[in-house]
Amino acid sequence: MKTPIPKAVVNRLPLYLRRLEYLAAGGTETISSRELAESLGRKDAQVRKDFACFGNFGRPGVGYPVAELITKLRGILGTDHLWRVALVGFGNLGRALVAYKGFQKRAFKIQAVFDADPAKVGRRAGDLVVQSAAEMVPEIRRLGIPMAILAVPAEVAQAAADRCVEAGVVGILNFAPVTLDLPGHVAVNHVDLTLCMEQLSFLASTLSRRAAGP
């Protein structure tokens, strides 16, 4: 825990957490690095090195205590408390995200929904009501919402992101296919479905080519 946790490790922590929570639900109390690694398609040494980034609470001959690890990981990831989230954009994707059980069951709760289309404003979104994009900045600020999910068209994504930052948001999950330009004190994560499909297209093409012959 002395040195900052490497980026590559951070990306794996949620993966470990998910698996550990599954194991805990099944009653597992300790797990070895090898077992955990194999269930995630990784090497045991990597798991040990990763966990060594924050304290040594594995026990030789036994393994790691599942419950302790979960607590520790949640603390590190910041999911030991609820994050309230604003959803910007109530198109197809936005609607799906509001209804998505995965967020509800975890540490994230969508607490406000905005859209620029007057036809969408006022519509019900789960137990929320879609608000006008014009009210976005004051409303996010009033509620003190720290995170936003952008599910808007590419053309308006940068502008929407700027307004989120203006409203005091510190983290943005962006679904629009553009690279956002934001101040360094705001965290951004990017999910581009088309990009994922293109990467998959490459992999599939390569594997097929290899299978077919040189």
- State the residue for tokens 């952008």: 150
In this chain, which stretch among 26-34, 49-57, 63-71, 165-173 interacts with a second copy, using CB under 8 A? 165-173
- By CB under 8 A, the residues from 24 to 63 that bind a second copy are 39-41
> In the bound complex, what is the minimum distance in angstroms from residue 3's beta carbon to DNA?
10
CB atoms closer than 10 angstroms to residue 126: 11
Total residues contacting a second copy by CB under 8 A comes to 64
**Among positions 15, 21, 40, 46, the unique one binding DNA when judged by CB under 7 A:** 46
Question: What residues contact 83, with CB distance under 8 A and at least 6 apart?
Answer: 107, 108, 109, 146, 147
Q: Where are the alpha helices (DSSP H) in 66-192?
A: 66-77, 92-99, 101-105, 136-143, 154-166
DSSP summary character for residue 6: P
Q: Does 79 bind DNA (CB under 7 A)?
A: no
**Among the candidate windows 31-39, 121-129, 170-178, 191-199, which touches DNA by CB under 7 A?**
31-39
Q: Which of 111, 96, 116, 98 is nearest to 157 (CA)?
A: 116
Q: What residues make contact with a second copy under the rule CB under 8 A? A: 4, 10-11, 13-15, 17-19, 39-41, 76-79, 83, 85, 92-93, 95-97, 99-100, 102-103, 106-108, 146-147, 170-173, 177, 179, 181, 184-189, 191-208, 211
